[in-house]
Amino acid sequence: MAITHFHLDHWGDLVPWVWGALAGPGAESEKPELVTPPGGHALLADLAVRLGGWEDMFDQVFRVREFTPELPTEVVGYELVALRVPHYTLEAYGFRISQNGLKLAYSGDSGPSEQLPEIARDCDLFVCEATLLDPEPGLRGHLTLPEAEEAFELSGARRLLVTHRPKERPTDGLHELAYEGLEITLDH
């Protein structure tokens, strides 16, 4: 698995996973790989201590390593390329993932950026957040639905799956909307 950035909604599930693997039902499980942004290994160690654990707590449960932005790396049999996207002042990345000729792009959390169409260039599926109803003033960290659609159109991707969209926000019905339990099949 790979983390795009360190806002809690993008990595917080790792905390109960760690406790379950150390002292619960996952204690006998094999250590999965966890790929983080640069500096993520040290940040996880610091967060572990702040959360009442110990510095190598995440290392006891995961095989932690950091990706290098813009360079391909293998993650559980897939090629992943991470490209920096704007998300307020936090270092954040979008992912381009490929295997066997199929390509998926994930915006992560991002404000408008020329990187988004590049991440999704000619992908089979572009999973793109569209959190906002209206653009934020000043420093940006999220997209509106029209901004996500524009990045999609510029990318030449085949499908757009809108995510990180609060239930109460309307959509235009033109693209798929992510929901809990959704399963997607990609084919050529």
pLDDT at residue number 72: 98
CA distance 47 to 39: 12
**Which tokens hold the place of 28?**
């006998």
**Which tokens hold the place of 174?**
């033109």
Give the start-end residues of each E strand in 76-131.
78-87, 90-99, 102-106, 125-129
168: pLDDT strictly greater than 90? no
* % of the chain residues with pLDDT over 90: 82
Q: Which residues is 87 bridged to in the sheet?
A: 90
Relative to beta strand 125-129, strand 73-75 is: unpaired
pLDDT at residue number 173: 83
pLDDT at residue number 174: 86
User: Tens digits of per-residue pLDDT, 58-84?
Assistant: 999 999 999 999 999 999 999 999 999
pLDDT at residue number 170: 75
**What confidence category does residue 175 fall into, taking pLDDT thresholds of 50, 70 and 90?**
confident
User: Tens digits of per-residue pLDDT, 7-66?
Assistant: 999 999 999 999 889 888 877 788 999 999 999 999 999 999 998 899 999 999 999 999
Q: What letter represents residue 95's amino acid?
A: F
Other Cβ atoms within 10 Å of 21 Cβ, number: 21
pTM given for the model:
0.93
Walk me through the domains of the chain, giving residue ranges and CATH numbers.
1-66 (no CATH), 69-188 (3.60.15.10)
* % of the chain residues with pLDDT over 70: 100
pLDDT at residue number 98: 97
**Which tokens hold the place of 74?**
């293998």
User: Tens digits of per-residue pLDDT, 126-155?
Assistant: 999 999 999 999 999 999 999 999 999 999
**Which tokens hold the place of 95?**
């992912």
